[in-house]
Structure 1
Amino acid sequence: MASLLVRAPAALRSGIQKMSLRAASTDFKTLKVHKPAPFVYNVELNRPDKRNAMNGAMWDEIPRCFTEISQDPDCRVVVLSGAGAMFTAGLDLAEQAAVLMSFNDESDPSRKFVKLRDIVARYQFTFTAIEKCPKPVIAAVHSACIGAGTSLITACDIRYCSEDAWFSIKEVNVGICADVGVLQRIHRVVGNGSVINEWALTGRKFDSKEALREGLVSRVLKDRDELMKASLDMAKLIASQSPVAVQGTKVNLAYSRSHSVDESLDYQAIWNACNLQTEDLTTAAAAIISKDPEPPVFSKL
């Protein structure tokens, strides 16, 4: 949690520190949050009339939501989906054009630079909050996932999609360089640097089959209903595990992506020197020894 607050832009930190500890769908204008299974939350992008385009409110509400979830002992796993006809059309271009136009009255290039940098940093933190959330996040993508949407899903831990899903790193087609995370994270997701460059330099569409083949997603389901069922089944399976072990695993996987093997091993040793003392180890071992068909019950974390 501390790392989230430290990395958040200053304007956002005060809002995070004051918010409540329970996610509720009524708290947000652009997101819908509900609990489809014990310890599983579904966070839904909820601007279906705008194809879930990411406006200013959504850029603010996503990090608020996921920071709140980070602190919520009733949540162990998140399924992230989109309401309506598509997952997301990406950046709300009409609103963003108005934001950029508002800087035209600023004559000093340095002051204009500071304002634009702060906006980009705030948008970047939106998806970093998903990556830093200790609860695993499963992206469930149906239909289109465009531009900033592709940045969003690369910050998630597991990515599923429906057969009709398609993707695009669209920014180059509208004259900008993608700047909210996809260029920085996708190399850790997709192993083929040539195809990454092709996607990013052309903005071309690629379908679910190509996304699966290149490793952007790990499963393709027939339709949206099967997609949500598979995502929920995976979330329930993860939620049935020790929350100490699951959250520790996510944190250490994330740490290892930006550190050497030796540094990561040292970090893991310190982490487990604490977490091997957990009661969950005894609970899990007892369930294995007893061969109980029911999964063990772990305390909230």
Structure 2
Amino acid sequence: MADPHPGRSTYRIMDSPLPDSRLWRPGPVRTMSSSDGPPAPFTTLAVSRPAEEMVECFQQISDDQACRVVLISGAGTTFTAGIDLMDMAADILQPEGDDTARIAWNLRKLIRRYQETFSVLEKCPKPVVAAVHGACIGGGVDLITACDIRLCTQDAWFQVKEVDIGLAADVGTLQRLPKVIGSRSLVNELALTARKMYADEAKSSGLVSRVFPDQDAMMAGALQMAAEMAARSPVAVQGTKINLIYSRDHGVAEGLDYMAAWNMSMLQTQDVMKSAQGTMEKKSPKEILFSKL
């Protein structure tokens, strides 16, 4: 989505429709950015090759100075439908290797590649907003827990599905969901029973911050939210995301020390003076032009 102000843009990444028989296999990705952003050559995001395209896509987004916010949504009747069982059978049940050590080594490499597919969303310095409608199953939960903000429609539901197919979730849900939802008991229940969580419970538990009546309303709200973030200083917004994630994984004293080290350079930006002047002149942040970062 190109912003009316030059130099401000968001990426909007959309998954294609998925057949009901699949549990997760994102399809074609469409990216939109300003004309000076990176090319978007991606045509598939398949679970058999997760690390190549998703990682490359978000690396380009991270480096795109014109991009301020990323919005991820589903283009079909569901957000995600889970892991593709045929691909899982090929990749996991028939791993390469001549003995136990080599099979295990190759499986570890495969899992680490899968993990990085979702970790790149968290590592991306730009805010990433997930807009969920319909089902969000298995890998979809891995994906959204790596996002910074989660929105959903009233018909959305979420499911940590992995125990139903004989494995423990291994690409981020078990690590991130406990830090997203306040109740450890609820996280354990969801992960151990694979029961569905519907929109109202997702909102009350903190998995999502807002629930919309339908997809059109959600997308309008998500785009408005993205525009609000894109209008702010990229130094401030990206620094905020990076320090929020750091503080989540460290103690208060360590977080404060990291923040001091961070801002001893970032406070030297012209954006502080521009923001202060804009406030005194009663300007909206959208009326202030910040340089690219």
- The normalised TM-score by structure 2 is 0.87
Letter aligned with residue 71 of structure 2 = V
Separation in 1 of the partners of 2:93 and 2:180? 35
Task: Please state if 1:285 is matched with 2:254.
Answer: no
Task: Please state if 1:41 is matched with 2:11.
Answer: yes
Correspondence list, 1:83-94, <5 A? 83-94=75-86
Cα deviation for residue 218 of structure 1 reads 0.4
Separation in 2 of the partners of 1:169 and 1:59? 21
Correspondence list, 1:218-237, <5 A? 218-237=209-228
1:143–1:165 contact (8 Å) kept in structure 2: yes
2:71–2:128 contact (8 Å) kept in structure 1: yes
Cα deviation for residue 51 of structure 1 reads 7.4
Letter aligned with residue 43 of structure 1 = I
Unaligned runs of 5+ in 1: 1-34
Unaligned runs of 5+ in 2: 27-46
SS at match of 2:181: coil
Measured against aligned partners, the alpha-carbon deviations of 1:57-82 in whole angstroms (never above 9, x if no partner) come to 44431111111100001100010111
Per the alignment, residue 6 of structure 1 pairs with: none
Measured against aligned partners, the alpha-carbon deviations of 1:216-241 in whole angstroms (never above 9, x if no partner) come to 00000011111111111100000000
Measured against aligned partners, the alpha-carbon deviations of 1:164-203 in whole angstroms (never above 9, x if no partner) come to 1000000001100000001101111100111111000000
SS at match of 2:92: helix
Percent identity, please: 49
Q: Which of 98, 102, 105 is 2:94 aligned to?
A: 102
Per the alignment, residue 108 of structure 2 pairs with: 117
Letter aligned with residue 273 of structure 1 = M
Mean Cα deviation higher: 55-64 or 214-223 = 55-64
Cα deviation for residue 52 of structure 1 reads 5.8
Letter aligned with residue 244 of structure 1 = V
Cα deviation for residue 41 of structure 1 reads 1.1
Per the alignment, residue 117 of structure 2 pairs with: 126
Letter aligned with residue 116 of structure 1 = L
> Number of residue pairs matched?
266
Per the alignment, residue 53 of structure 1 pairs with: 25
Separation in 2 of the partners of 1:132 and 1:261? 21
Measured against aligned partners, the alpha-carbon deviations of 1:2-48 in whole angstroms (never above 9, x if no partner) come to xxxxxxxxxxxxxxxxxxxxxxxxxxxxxxxxx35441110112354
Mean Cα deviation higher: 61-70 or 140-149 = 61-70
2:17–2:77 contact (8 Å) kept in structure 1: no
Per the alignment, residue 168 of structure 1 pairs with: 159
Separation in 2 of the partners of 1:206 and 1:127? 21
1:36–1:42 contact (8 Å) kept in structure 2: no
Task: Please state if 1:69 is matched with 2:47.
Answer: no
Task: Please state if 1:80 is matched with 2:72.
Answer: yes
SS at match of 1:56: coil
Separation in 1 of the partners of 2:182 and 2:48? 33
Separation in 2 of the partners of 1:59 and 1:132? 14
SS at match of 2:241: helix
Cα deviation for residue 107 of structure 1 reads 4.2
Separation in 2 of the partners of 1:67 and 1:91? 24
Q: Which of 220, 230, 249 is 1:239 aligned to?
A: 230
Separation in 2 of the partners of 1:298 and 1:151? 33
Mean Cα deviation higher: 49-58 or 188-197 = 49-58
2:152–2:211 contact (8 Å) kept in structure 1: yes
Per the alignment, residue 149 of structure 2 pairs with: 158
SS at match of 1:236: helix
Per the alignment, residue 249 of structure 2 pairs with: 258
Correspondence list, 1:142-221, <5 A? 142-221=133-212
Separation in 1 of the partners of 2:204 and 2:124? 28
SS at match of 2:287: coil
The CA RMSD over aligned residues, in Å, is 1.6
SS at match of 1:76: strand
Separation in 1 of the partners of 2:24 and 2:223? 21
SS at match of 1:246: helix
Which has the larger helix fraction?
Answer: 1
